[in-house]
Amino acid sequence: MPSRLFNPNTEEPFTLSRSRVDNFLECSRCFYLTNRLGIARPSTFPFNLNNAVDELLKNEFDGYRKKQKPHPIQVENNLNAIPYEHPELDNWRESLRHGVKRFHEPTNLILRGGVDDVWIDKKTNQLIVVDYKATSKKGEVTLDADWQIGYKRQVEFYQWLFRGNSFDVSDTAYFVYCNGIKDKSEFNNQLEFKVKLIPYIGNDQWVEPTLKDLKYCLLAEEPPKAADDCSYCRYITKNLTI
């Protein structure tokens, strides 16, 4: 259950995470049930290996951040960028309690999201949003699958958050995509990855209208209809009476 539910009768700003906004885009009914009634979707299993990769990447980039020197992957991809040093970086990365926060006055919402990393372009002084991803698949990793729209919205939302905090942000974000190699003859207590840097030109123009629709949904007295492709709603409709 959410720690706090939306109350339409208060003027206090309501806080939503990036994942909750994405939840609204996936199914407005699930979003309503979670934030108005406290009926959240079942929790997913933690991706512990992915989290371990995230932490190791953060440690590695932090080493270059302290030296204010480019990481080899930045050099290999001809980026004139280095990891960005900022006193709030640890808070920006803390998705559960902090994250990058932005107050959206038209909806009286506080939006937040925990970013994996931030680089800075040394020529333009623009911030670059960076997200880490880990998988294990045959062939090259890409951003071409339909389901990866969530990845793209994720970095666009972070770009929008930073811009709301008066930062000059590059339209180009980067995914540090780690692909686990599983065709080696021996394990030897080592899981090796092929790391690829994938640029993505973001467009955060969807955020503002989405927040207005989202707030309208929260203010409604009844939950909206279920999304046609929402497996959670199909289960609830079939097995429970709400």
- Residue by residue, what is the 3-state secondary structure of the chain? CCCCCCCCCCCCCEEEEHHHHHHHHHCHHHHHHHHHHCCCCCCCCCCHHHHHHHHHHHHHHHHHHHHCCCCHHHHHCCCCEEECCCCCHHHHHCCCCCCEEEEECCCCEEEEECCCEEEEECCCCCEEEEEEEEECCCCCCCCCCHHHHHHHHHHHHHHHHHHCCCCCECCEEEEEEEEECCCCCCCCCCCCEEEEEEEEECCHHHHHHHHHHHHHHHHCCCCCCCCCCCHHHHHHHHHCCC
Pick the closest to residue 225 from 32, 30, 29 (CA basis).
29
Q: What are 208-225's pLDDT values in tens digits?
A: 999 999 999 999 999 998
Question: Does residue 2 lie within any of the structural domains?
Answer: no
Percentage of the chain modeled with pLDDT above 90: 76
**What value does the mean pLDDT take over residues 93-109?**
94
Average pLDDT, the chain: 92
Question: Does residue 24 lie within any of the structural domains?
Answer: yes
Question: Does residue 6 lie within any of the structural domains?
Answer: no
Pick the closest to residue 154 from 137, 170, 132 (CA basis).
132
- Alpha carbon separation from 151 to 12, 102, 157 (Å, rounded): 31, 20, 10
172-180 and 117-121 beta bridge pairing = unpaired
Q: What are 54-86's pLDDT values in tens digits?
A: 999 999 999 999 999 999 999 999 999 999 999
Q: What are 115-138's pLDDT values in tens digits?
A: 999 999 999 999 999 999 999 888
Q: Judge contact between 112 and 100, C-beta under 8 A.
A: yes
Q: How many domains does the chain have?
A: 1
Question: Does residue 9 lie within any of the structural domains?
Answer: no
Pick the closest to residue 21 from 129, 132, 127, 99 (CA basis).
99
- pTM of the predicted model, to two decimals? 0.92
Question: Does residue 106 lie within any of the structural domains?
Answer: yes
64 — phi, psi (to 5°)?
-75, -25
What is the band of 1 on the pLDDT scale with cuts at 50, 70, 90? very low
Which tokens is 47 given?
Answer: 């991706």
For residue 120, the enclosing domain spans 14-239
Question: Does residue 185 lie within any of the structural domains?
Answer: yes
Question: Does residue 25 lie within any of the structural domains?
Answer: yes
Q: Judge contact between 115 and 158, C-beta under 8 A.
A: yes
CATH number at residue 111: 3.90.320
Q: What are 177-212's pLDDT values in tens digits?
A: 999 888 887 787 777 889 999 999 999 999 999 999
Instruction: With a cut of 80, say whether residue 34 has pLDDT above it.
Output: yes
Question: Does residue 231 lie within any of the structural domains?
Answer: yes
Give the Cα separation of 78 and 169 in Å (integer): 19
Give the Cα separation of 53 and 59 in Å (integer): 10
Which tokens is 145 given?
Answer: 């699958």
Q: Which of 7-16, 18-27, 94-103, 232-241 has the lowest mean pLDDT?
A: 232-241
Half-sphere CA count of 178, side-chain side, radius 13 A:
17
Percentage of the chain modeled with pLDDT above 70: 95
Amino acid type, 167 = F
